[in-house]
């Protein structure tokens, strides 16, 4: 859970960086693609950010999470956790002022 929270915080920092450091970002630029956030930390999963008119959605990229299971019970637990994580979306409203 701590890893996901770290990933979520990195996603928010990514948004601040994206909007704050570039003076030419428009809503159309944001909505055009899904944005992958790849943290520097090894055990933190990637996040995927997508944008609509005024909502940013962050999802955990479960494909980027490696398996450490040593038996079938642990594998079942990891599969369940990945399924649960793939269903979770974090939504944030945003506005762009000026450029």
Longest dimension (CA), the chain: 55
51, part of any domain: yes
Measured between alpha carbons, how far is 74 from 47 in angstroms, rounded to an integer?
24
Domain that holds residue 86: 2-93
26, part of any domain: yes
62, part of any domain: yes
89, part of any domain: yes
Q: Which of 35, 45, 39, 42 is nearest to 15 (CA)?
A: 35
Q: Report the number of distinct structural domains present in the chain.
A: 1
Torsion of CA 55, 66, 76, 91, to 10 degrees: -10
Q: Which of 90, 62, 89 is nearest to 78 (CA)?
A: 62
Higher pLDDT: 84 or 21? It is 84
98, part of any domain: no
pLDDT for 1: 55
pLDDT digits (tens, 9 = 90+) for 54-99: 888 989 888 888 888 899 999 999 899 889 988 988 998 887 776 5
SS3 label, residue 97: coil
67, part of any domain: yes
99, part of any domain: no
Burial code (b: 16+ CB inside 10 Å, e: under 16) for 19-35 equals beeeeeeeeeebeeeeb
């Amino acid at each position: 859970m701590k890893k996901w929270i770290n990933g979520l915080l990195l996603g928010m920092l990514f948004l601040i960086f994206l909007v704050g450091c570039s003076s030419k970002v428009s809503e159309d630029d944001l909505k055009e693609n899904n944005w992958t956030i790849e943290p520097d930390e090894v055990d933190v999963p990637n996040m995927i950010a997508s944008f609509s008119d005024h909502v940013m959605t962050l999802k955990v990229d479960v494909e980027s999470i490696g398996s450490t299971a040593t038996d079938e019970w642990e594998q079942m637990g990891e599969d369940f956790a990945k399924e649960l994580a793939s269903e979770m979306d974090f939504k944030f409203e945003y506005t762009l002022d000026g450029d």
